[in-house]
Structure 1
């Protein structure tokens, strides 16, 4: 399931690291955040290397909808209420600055990446919420206003318009920046101890280490595994649709996202907690909606994305832990990875140089709030429930009863096993314990994968790892 970005841009391969090296900064992860952090640090004069377990932009960056926006759902009214006006202003200003910084880099480097300034719209049937949010965003310095009758892809409805936002082709952008950096692909970092990183073929010594791996794979210190969960969402790329101006997202449980790239409309939706696969058929739901809204549309690609959702709704950007002042982290971007990646680059660059960053406080990973405490308690409850399920809930079917072309947890010789039956009759059996922290994996019928409801690790039906924080494949049976 290649995204429209991978179908239209190829980034040249890099070699893996085969010898021990020393560097000032080692960045783990070559997605949008890792590349931007490395680029900003190198431009400022630091010696930087980037270590990537797979290929450049092979993780979540290739699956983004690539909206560069400070419009983050109904965000700013709740930010002011929960964190106060000062921190809410930091959040708003950081994301507005991120948009401007993308434009600056693209113009300075002469990058051709379909960059386009446009407006972002949040639409809803609840006018009162929109008015409150528009007033909150405007009070924080964002050019946002309420529109009573906005023309959107779903019809005329109330909306908030955020002006001076942008969109682009993320891989075309990264292809250019990555050419300027020392990047090693197929070089997974297996362990990190103080200033030492170990990969299968080399040891790296670094003064500073940045974890830009989407979800941190080091559990202690930091304990990010109890401070956020992951969610999945789905996208169709459609053609034969009249062009529209702007980026759109709805409010509510069944919200849809729209934006144009070139001649394609990107229609997104179907968000759910990773591993909660009770309601399959997410792509089919989007296809039915596309048929309803755009009868002449033709699907040219479909794919899915995964997002880290922090306990209090704000990314963790800054020092990884008080115990490791030379480690840094960028995670918890929610659905807004493009601006959050640039915010990460600006904050982490200043931290490494010992400079005060005006936005750093609100994103500080060591922050504490009652909302975060409630979120952490909920995450721990969900993880405990899933762990208990592995031991106490018996499978409802046997391997023989599982239909061809389906997957699920079955009982084999008194043991719970994950099984997928290919249409040709080939049977794949795997351990249903996630190698990260032992939670019970669940079958995802939309993508034929085994997903962890606790922390979001994912594996294909053969047991090969797709998404972290797990670092190893599932054991085969």
Structure 2
């Protein structure tokens, strides 16, 4: 059940202001409150009703760009550390869900990264060898192994470190926990502008109030593009279809999530209430109205893809939706300050690993606030 929060009606002061009440803002608030910091969090909508409500919540250590290619783009240390730390983030998120007694349905799953085109086989083999070289627990599956699973594809990499969660419920549970610990939360409170005032920052709201803060943390995902350079992120529209509930979830989806080497890729997973979600068909984002007009055509496309890969499973669509996300050139997030002279910080988990990146961002937010060096503030800095 979602919890209601008031809009801000009076001007206030706080050491730290978080803008964004989705899963990222909730995780950052949790990290700060556990560290004994005083926090105010605001969201322009009802909390958790932005990208968090549209997320399909595949938790994977695999980044949108394969490890062997990421090494070429960002170097060995950054690439390998990013994969390792994303894997750790999945286990860290499980600890958090347990600590706050969240009923968000966190479940560990195997992850299968498969190719259905022969031209992708060479790269997939190289990716497998690269992951094995750097210690990841992976297994190679050929087409006969996949046929036994019920998947029609040439080959795949199986990883054990995948998971699923209900991000909306988790964000709600985190915010409730933070509220009980003293975080002040206001929704339907839009920050119109932020200005530097002496040594502090002043955020002006649509409710004609002012929030004076020592630090402001932006956790607004793709909506941050208005404040960022156009070269930082490209906006994409993605499409999702969910099935009606099965009396018994088909075996291939009971303990495994799937995604493929197509560009853009498709993904497939089961849910705790016995449904199957399929997603993909990404397009350049133009505007929400144009995006939503594509939903019917994209549903047909996704159903055809599912039928090709899982020919023995009947998929009866229940409903479909679309969402927007940001895609970076290296598939990695942005953390830290945009302007070193201003105490405005960003935790932007762009890409397909938004939730995993948000957990990763928890570790560098306090160093960012305190002006202390941290590897992630270097790996994921602006202007890299």
1:100 equivalent in structure 2 = 91
Matched, 1:166 2:163: yes
Task: State which drifts further: 151-160 or 126-135.
Answer: 151-160
Q: Aligned to 1:204, which of 203, 207, 211? A: 211
Q: Do residues 18 (structure 1) and 18 (structure 2) align?
A: no
Task: Report the CA distance shift for 1:356/1:104 in structure 2 as closer, same or farther (over 3 A).
Answer: farther
Check conservation: 1:117, 1:166, Cα contact below 8 A.
yes
1:2-13 matches, within 5 Å, as 10-13=1-4
Cα distance, 1:11 vs. partner?
1.2
Q: For 2:258, which of 231, 248, 253 is the aligned residue? A: 248
Compared with structure 1, are the counterparts of its residues 153 and 336 closer, same or farther at alpha carbon in structure 2 (3 Å cutoff)? farther
Aligned-partner Cα distance in 1 for 2:136–2:92: 16
- 1:347 is aligned to 364
For the pair shown, the structure with the greater C-alpha radius of gyration is: 1
Residue 258 of structure 1: aligned partner: 268
Q: SS at the partner of 1:197?
A: strand
Structure 2 CA distance for aligned equivalents of residues 153 and 54 of structure 1: 42
**2: CA distance, partners of 1:132 / 1:92:** 16
Moved more, 96-105 or 153-162: 153-162
| TM-score, normalisation: structure 2 | 0.85
Query: Which residue of the partner structure matches residue 220 of structure 2?
Result: 213
Cα gap change, 1:49 to 1:294, in 2 (>3 Å) = farther
Which range moved further: 277-286 or 65-74? 277-286
Distance 1:153 1:334 in 2: 29
Partner of 2:70: 79
Of 91-100 and 47-56, deviating more is 91-100
CA distance in 2, matches of 1:109, 1:332: 22
Distance 1:317 1:142, change over 3 A: farther
Q: Which SS does the other structure have where 1:359 is aligned?
A: helix
* 1:193-236 per-position Cα deviation (integer Å, ceiling 9, x unaligned): 1211000221001111011111354756xx43332111111111
Distance 1:40 1:57 in 2: 18
1:130-173 CA-partner distances (Å, limit 9, x unpaired): 12112223334432343223426642530111222211111221
SS of 2:7 mapped into structure 1: coil
Q: Does the CA-based 8 Å contact 2:48-2:172 persist in structure 1?
A: no
Task: State the Cα distance separating 1:316 from its structure 2 match.
Answer: 1.1
Aligned equivalents of 1:18, 1:317: Cα separation in 2: 31
Q: Which runs of 5+ in 2 are unaligned?
A: none
Distance (whole Å) between structure 2 residues aligned to residue 219 and residue 236 of structure 1 = 29
Which residue of the partner structure matches residue 299 of structure 2? Answer: 283
Q: Which residue of 2 aligns with 1:117?
A: 108
Deviates more, 1:116-125 or 1:89-98: 89-98
Further displaced range: 184-193 or 292-301: 292-301
8 Å CA contact 2:42–2:185 kept in 1: the answer is yes
Alignment of 1:453-472 (within 5 A): none
Query: Within the alignment, does 1:35 sit opposite 2:42 as a pair?
Result: no
Q: Is the 8 A contact 1:67 1:168 kept in 2?
A: yes
Aligned match of 2:279: 268
The runs of 5 or more residues in structure 1 that have no matched partner are 1-9, 368-477
Higher fraction of helix: 2
| Contact 1:26–1:49, Cα closer than 8 Å, also in 2 | yes
Residue 55 of structure 2 corresponds to residue 55 of structure 1: no
Whole-Å Cα distance in 1 between the matches of residues 159 and 82 of structure 2? Answer: 15
Please say if residues 309 and 332 of structure 1, whose CA atoms lie closer than 8 Å, have aligned partners that are also in contact: no
